[in-house]
Structures are given as C-alpha cells and as structure tokens.
Chain A
Amino acid sequence: MSEELIVPTMAEMMAEGKQPEILFWVGSAGSYDDRAKKITRAFVKILNKANVNFAVLGTEESNTGDVAKRAGNEFLFQMQAVMNIEVLNAYEIKRIVTCDPHSFNCLKNEYPSLGGNYDVIHHTQFIKELISSGRLTLEGNTYKGKRITFHDPCYLGRGNGVYDAPRDVLKKTNATLVEMKRHKRTGLCCGAGGAQMFKDAEPGDKEVNELRTEDALETQPEIIATGCPYCNTMMTDGVKFKEKEAEIKVLDIAELIADA
C-alpha cells in the first residue's frame, strides 16, 4: 500500500448533500486489473493534487457493456447501459471523466440514445484542462529530454478524433516527443479492441501487439506512453516479448503526469 488517496463515493457525497464537479468513471479494467489499477491510482493522485472535487460510483459502478457490444451482444450491452444510466441519472451526473477510451466512447456516444446524456471526457483531456487552467502545475524535470512515443488508442483517436490532448499533455513534461511511422489517423491498433482482449487471436503469422511494439521500437523510445489500460497491457507484453523491458517503460499518461 502506497500513499493515502482521497476517493469520495457518490453515495457519501449524496449523504452530505454535495455534488462533485466531475464523476470519475473507473471502468472494469481500472477497478480490477492489477496493472490498470496503478493507472487509476495515479490519476486519483493527480485529481487530489489539483484539488478536484470528484467522486466515483464505487460498488455502484458496473461494466459499461462496451466489450459485450463489440462482441456482438447488443442485449447484454443495453442491459448494462440501462442499469448504469439509472444510477448516473439518479445522482444527476453531468460530467464524467475516464481513463478508458472504450468507456469514454461508449458513455459519450452510445448511452445518449438510451437516456444517458453526459459530458464525457478522456482523462488526457481533463489533465490538459487542469494544466491550462493552472490548477495543476508540473515541475517538468522528471522527463526532461526523455524520448517518449505515444501510442494512439483507436477509440480515442480514430474513434473520436482526439489526437492532440494526449500530445499536448506530454509536451508539458519537457520530454522529446517522437512519433511512430503510423500515428494519429493511421495509428495501428494494439490488438486488444473489439473484445480481442478476452480471447486468443485467430491464426496468423504474428500477434498485433508484436507488430505495434516494433513500430514503437523503431522510434528508439525510453518510454512508450499509452492512454488506455488495454493498450498498456498489450504494449507491456509486446516490450517483454522483445526483451526490452529493462530499457523501455510502458506508462499511461496519468502515471507520467503524476510524477512529472
């Protein structure tokens, strides 16, 4: 156990008659996956540091249903969505931030027609906001001059056209940003999307995360930055597969900023 984090739940807030400025949607990976939990904690550290009045749903949060939808199970997706919307609407949530681009896309685009209308942003967008409004200041020494390459998550980049926020945030660390040959619009998937995370790949001659890791290695980075818990897992595995884990770190932007 590391440092104390302040993580209010909506239930607690409600009991005190308070309303947070933003709800942090943690997501299933961020709640249970060991690697992703570190990202969640890093992001909360940032929120605490910037004195953001936020809350989480805690045990009242359930899976968005996104992965079920991509797998083709529209029933399960809509059941999950309707359940979550009931909770969110009961708490009168207006604004949501999440570290998971899949939840981001699903909440932002696929919940509205089922009755869930919120202003949903990705954590890199929120961090950018915190920095530009002066609520969060970075020392800017930790990563000074380090070579960082950013891997675009499909559902943040192509899926929703958010290419700049993560890069703008990374620039604030004074690192040297190096782009992979395939980036932004042509960024290659890490291989986890569309429910692939939960199954073995079809027969082929390579794993997608291997290919993507090769893209990243070409830029000779010291750090591969990600903005999605699944991408993080895929790239971490890829770097291990290439036996480069001693030289190259795979870190979420939240983790980078929490230490910057």
Chain B
Amino acid sequence: MDYLPNIIFAIILIAGIGYFAKNVQKLIRNIKLGHKVDASDHKSERWQNVMRIALGQSKMVRRPVSGFLHVIVYVGFIIINIEVLEIIIDGIFGTHRVGLSILPESVYGFLIGSFEVLALFVLVSVIVFWIRRNVIKLRRFMANEMKGWPKSDGNIILYFEVVLMVLFLVMNATDSVHIIEATGTTFQDLGAGNVISQYMAPWFNGLSENTIVIIERTAWWLHIVGILAFLNYLYFSKHLHILLAFPNVYLGKVVPKGKFNNLDAVTAEVKLMMDPDADPFAAPPEGAEDDVPAKFGASDVMDLSQTQLLNAYTCTECGRCTSECPANLTGKKLSPRKIMMDTRDRLEEVGKNIDANKGEFKDDGKQLLGDYITNEELWACTTCNACVEACPVSIDPLSIIMEMRRYLVMEQSAAPMELNTMMTNIENNGAPWPYNQMDRLNWKDE
C-alpha cells in the first residue's frame, strides 16, 4: 500500500500528458489541412526572429507596461516550471525534495529562492493584468469579438496563474514537518530558499503538525495536478501561443511587408495568354493538371496556407492589431483580430467535423467566407500592414484578407461596383480612370 501515492501520481501524469499529446496531434492534423509552405529560405533571419521576437519578446515591450508585466509572467512561468521536474521525480519515487540530494544546499536554496521571488512577481503582474481587463476595461479587451468565451478564457488563465503561484508558496511555507533525507532538517528549518515563504510560515503556527502536513501535501498535489490541467487547457485557449509562438515566428514574413505573393497559377495562365505562339486549344502538358488549384483565393480554411492556419492557433487575442487598424479605429466592422479568431473557430469546426465523420470532412454547407467573415469586413481593409507590424508573434491577418478578396474577385466577380469600374479602366486604358492612354504625357505641357 506504500506505493499507492506513487502509482496514483504516475497515472495522473501519464493521463495528463497523454491527453495533451492527443490534442497536439489533432492540432497538427488541422494545420495540415492548409496548403504546404516552403520556408527553406532566409534561415538565419528566421532564427534571429525566433530569438528576438519569440524568446526576446522584442515586440511585446513596444507597449512598455503590458510588455514588462508579460515578460515577468513569461520568465516566471518558464523558470518556476523547473521546479516541476523535482515534483515529478519526488512523485514517482516517493522522495522528498530530491534536489537536495543532488545539488549543494546553496545552489538549491538559490534556485528555490528565485522561484519564490518570481512567484510573487508573477502574482502581482497577474493581478495587474486582471485589473486592466476587468476594472480599467482597456478598449482593446472590450471589442465585440471578445464577448463570451474569449473574455472568460482571458480571465481563467489569470486565475490559473494565481492559484498555481499561491499553491507553490503555501507548499513551501508549510514544509516544516517533513524531514528531508539529505539534510536531516525540514525545508523551513533549512533556511535556504524560503525567501518569501518564511514570512508565510507563521500563518500556520497554531495548527497541529498533522494538519500542516495535510496542507503541505494538498498544496503539493494540487500544484502538479494544476500544472497538468493547465497544459491540457492550452489546446482550448488563446494560450497555445506559449508553445506556438516559436514555430509561428519562425514561419513569419521575412520579405518586405508590402510585398504580396504572386499567384503561380495565374502566372502560368497569363504567360499562355501573352504568348503569341501558344495554342489555346492545345491539351495541357503532362502533369499540369495537378498544378492548377481548385480555385483562386480562399473561401474556407482549407484554401489557406499552413502558416495562416498556424497563425490562427497562435493568436493571443491581445488585440494590438485591431487597436492600430485604421478601419477599426474609424468604426468599420473589420477587426484583424476577429479575422484570426474566425479562422481558428472555423478550423476547429472543420476538425470536429472530421472527427465525427471518421477522418473525412463532410460538407456542412458552411465556410469561412460569409458564415464567419463578411464581405463588408474584407472590403474595409486598406492593406496598410499596421496589424502585421503590431502583432507581437508575427501573425499576418492581412494575408488572409487578401486571399479572400482574391476569391471574391476572381471566382465570384463580387467586387464593389466602383472597383469593377476601376479595373475595367485599367484593362481598357492602362489607368484606373477613363483617360486616354495617348494623353499619358500631357502633364508635361500643362
């Protein structure tokens, strides 16, 4: 019976990691519904971006307050999780603070001490974050697309952090009974590493040793269970970005932002049209069939690229893009954040459809265009790249808007009337206005 806790621990651990792995597989499968992308270019620049933007959070700190707090939470989160390593070993082997059998007391104390300080900082930052969302009500967290689940999601994560940090500190504060094998003392008596928790220990003074042990064990168990729950919560949350930001930034745009891709399929057709020797009725060459895409542009998530779908899962819903979008700032319906959230929601819907239909997508009569994103939103974009510039994790909402405009124009001829007139003019006179090509140099003598 002595091994019961170890076995329970192992089961919880395996279940927690297993379920997470299953969802990661699903995530990868969904992303693979998009077109393949070739990211073999600009390797060193891509890695630099990962170091600077993802790891170094260079774009986060452009907004100093939220940037600074975010760095604390992020560093705290990663570093405190080193402690999880010890918890796992202790849990499996039934040891207590195994770190002290491996590391010198001073090093161990330094580590735990830093964790405690960070935990306190994280607590404070998270509380400020909560106040920004719920009391100050910053405009970018109050938009239409942030009602319901996205709003709760933002807060749930903050509560998670609070609970985990408090559990960690309580666990240390009440660790005053259990004798550590390596040192022959309790953690609190050791006097190394309890930088913060020593001030919390007296709160529990009046309690019996038994009760203190129960509190300590409860905090310990809840802490590890909480971390596993957090891990599994990620898949359903905007917090996927803590993992996906890295590949996403790697795949981010490395050419000038103003450069839009040229559609190869169009190039092939244009070359054919312009080539006086080409026989328009000739059978397409062997293999050409596969090159022609089913359609131009995008009306649903499967028409987007894998990078664009990864973008959707990575979006943190921070709204920095939307808060700089000229269309949104002047009251138009367009919100680049909503474009990303819609893409993710639709992709999830398609994923569930595939799950329910034994791995095959069954037409559900819906698509991203129309059912999620309206023409009105798409036509409001000025292609100014403010959203792309603002995004702290290198997401490109503009590229999705462009793909959908392409679909509207090339597949449906559904451009606003004035734009059709403009395009007809270009076709006929080589200018967006109805002027004569022969008058192009008249400015010279005016």
Contacts and interface: CB of A to CB of B under 8 A. Distances in A.
B435 interface: yes
A78 B296 CA distance: 14
Contact of A74 (B334, B410, B416, B427): B410
Contacts of A207: 330
A206 to B, nearest CB: 4
A208 interface: yes
Contact of B381 (A37, A194, A206): A194
A75 interface: yes
B326 A202 contact: no
Interface in B220-262: 255-260, 262
Contacts of A79: 270, 273-274, 427
Contact of B406 (A31, A56, A72, A114): A72
B376 interface: yes
Contact of A67 (B257, B410, B426): B426
B440 interface: yes
A158 B379 contact: no
A114 B267 CA distance: 8
Contacts of A71: 405, 409, 415, 419, 422-423
Nearest to B411: A72
Interface in A188-233: 188-189, 191-196, 198-208, 210-212
B433 interface: yes
B432 A28 contact: yes
B147 interface: no
Nearest to B417: A199
Given A31-B443, A59-B440, A199 B379 contact: yes
Interface residues of A, number: 72
B270 A185 contact: no
B384 A76 contact: no
Contacts of A196: 382
A194 B384 contact: yes
A68 interface: yes
A141 to B, nearest CB: 28
B96 interface: no
Given A58-B441, A59-B438, A110 B382 contact: no
B279 interface: no
Given A72-B410, A205-B331, A110 B432 contact: no
B437 interface: yes
B156 interface: no
Contacts of A200: 416, 418
A169 B50 CA distance: 35
A63 B424 CA distance: 12
B437 A69 contact: no
Nearest to A39: B443
B269 interface: yes
Given A58-B441, A72-B410, A110-B259, A158 B431 contact: no
Given A69-B260, A199-B379, A61 B440 contact: yes
A75 B260 CA distance: 14
Most buried by B among A79, A189, A206: A189
Interface of A: 1, 5, 7, 9, 26, 28, 30-33, 37, 40-41, 44, 56, 58-59, 61-63, 65, 67-76, 78-80, 82-83, 105, 108-110, 113-114, 154-155, 158-161, 185-186, 188-189, 191-196, 198-208, 210-212
Given A70-B260, A73-B410, A206-B331, 18 more contacts: A1-B445, A72-B407, A83-B274, A108-B256, A110-B260, A113-B262, A154-B258, A154-B384, A154-B385, A155-B258, A158-B384, A186-B324, A194-B381, A198-B418, A199-B418, A202-B376, A206-B330, A211-B329
Shortest 8 CB-CB distances between A and B: which pairs?
A: A159-B258, A72-B405, A194-B383, A205-B331, A62-B430, A204-B331, A109-B259, A189-B384
